[in-house]
Amino acid sequence: MTRLVACLVLLVATLALAPGPADAAPGPWAVKAEKRLNALRCDAGRGDGRIDAHTRSAVVRFQSRVGLRQTGHLDDRTRRHLYAEDAPRCDRRPVPRHSGQGRRIVISQHQNWVWLVGASGRVLAEGGMVDNPRVLHRGTHATGSYCGRGGRIRLNQAVSGTLWLDDFVRFAPCGIGFHRIPRWKSNGRQMHADWILGTDLATSHGCIRLSRGLAHQVWAFTTRRTQVRVV
């Protein structure tokens, strides 16, 4: 009994990465699922039939897109949604309701997603993110300088001094901002892959980590004070 409880605890702790009963072994079904996920722009990787962390990140993105529990498992309910004729793309999402009006940036901590919304309400750019809900809380913020620290820093440094935070745009006291996935100063490499974005497989120290491309777009979008809504 004790061994069973220990196994269940381990399963819960590694839910997004450990194989489940519906997808425990690779096979033709796995290749089919990966191809479908890639067709829906969920980024499942190479489509080689291996249900690895990259594939599971795509499943999480799809589950968040259709409002399912984000387990990373291709269970029956997830597969029904995945193969439905009207299955939505992962990379295009409606802006959450009650996220304000007009020109703004919207952050969904539940979906791990960011939208840049123009004055007309049209989405100008969007994409996955990594954040830390224990540090950044829901509410209304705005880009700018806080605590006497610069609001926009093209090449910022982490407190540790070992990482670059490209295109840093501050929007909450005192150190929280948007930036590209941190890069190691020693070799210029990102500390994690882009396919982690849009999932909860990693957490930041409080900032919003973005792809290189979306970080550039946020930088260009925030040349003037910009409202940021966290929902």
Residue 23 counted as domain residue: yes
Residue 196 counted as domain residue: yes
Domain boundary among 52, 82, 112: 82
pLDDT digits (tens, 9 = 90+) for 153-166: 999 999 999 999 99
State whether 73 and 116 are in the same domain: no
pLDDT digits (tens, 9 = 90+) for 172-198: 999 999 999 999 999 999 999 999 999
DSSP 119-181: TTS-EEEEEE-B--TTTS-SEEEE-S-BTTB-SEEEEEE-TTSSEEEEEEEEEETTTEEEEES
State whether 215 and 118 are in the same domain: yes
pLDDT digits (tens, 9 = 90+) for 80-109: 999 999 999 999 999 999 999 999 999 999
**Is residue 56 very low, low, confident or very high in pLDDT (cuts 50, 70, 90)?**
very high
Higher pLDDT: 182 or 7? It is 182
CATH at 221: 2.40.440.10
Taking every pair of Cα atoms in the chain, the longest distance, rounded to a whole number of angstroms, is 60
State whether 153 and 197 are in the same domain: yes
Residue 171 has pLDDT above 60, yes or no: yes
State whether 189 and 118 are in the same domain: yes
Range of the domain at 72: 2-82
Residue 26 has pLDDT above 70, yes or no: no
Please, what is the end-to-end C-alpha distance for the chain in angstroms?
41
State whether 194 and 108 are in the same domain: yes
Residue ranges of alpha helices (H) inside the chain are 2-13, 28-39, 53-66, 76-82, 212-221
**Is residue 35 very low, low, confident or very high in pLDDT (cuts 50, 70, 90)?**
very high
The tokens for 39 are: 């067709």
Q: Which amino acid is at 33?
A: A
Domain boundary among 30, 51, 82: 82
State whether 38 and 140 are in the same domain: no
**Is residue 211 very low, low, confident or very high in pLDDT (cuts 50, 70, 90)?**
very high
Residue 16 has pLDDT above 80, yes or no: no
The domain total for the chain is 2
**Residues of the chain above pLDDT 70, percent:** 89
* Residue 46, phi then psi, degrees to nearest 5: -75, -15
State whether 225 and 125 are in the same domain: yes
**Residues of the chain above pLDDT 90, percent:** 84
Residue 13 has pLDDT above 90, yes or no: no
Average pLDDT estimate for 32-57: 95
**Is residue 25 very low, low, confident or very high in pLDDT (cuts 50, 70, 90)?**
low
Residue 20 has pLDDT above 70, yes or no: no
State whether 70 and 24 are in the same domain: yes
Residue 17 has pLDDT above 50, yes or no: no
Residue 93 counted as domain residue: no
State whether 112 and 215 are in the same domain: yes
Residue 95 counted as domain residue: no
Residue 60 counted as domain residue: yes
Q: 208-210 and 176-180 as β-strands: parallel, antiparallel, unpaired?
A: parallel
Residue 87 counted as domain residue: no
Note the Cα 21 to chain centre separation in Å.
26
State whether 77 and 145 are in the same domain: no
State whether 224 and 111 are in the same domain: yes
- β-pair partners for 68: none
Distances (CA, A) of 45 to 34, 146, 209: 8, 39, 20
| Mean of the per-residue pLDDT values of the chain | 90
pLDDT digits (tens, 9 = 90+) for 108-138: 999 999 999 999 999 999 999 999 999 999 9
Domain boundary among 31, 49, 82: 82
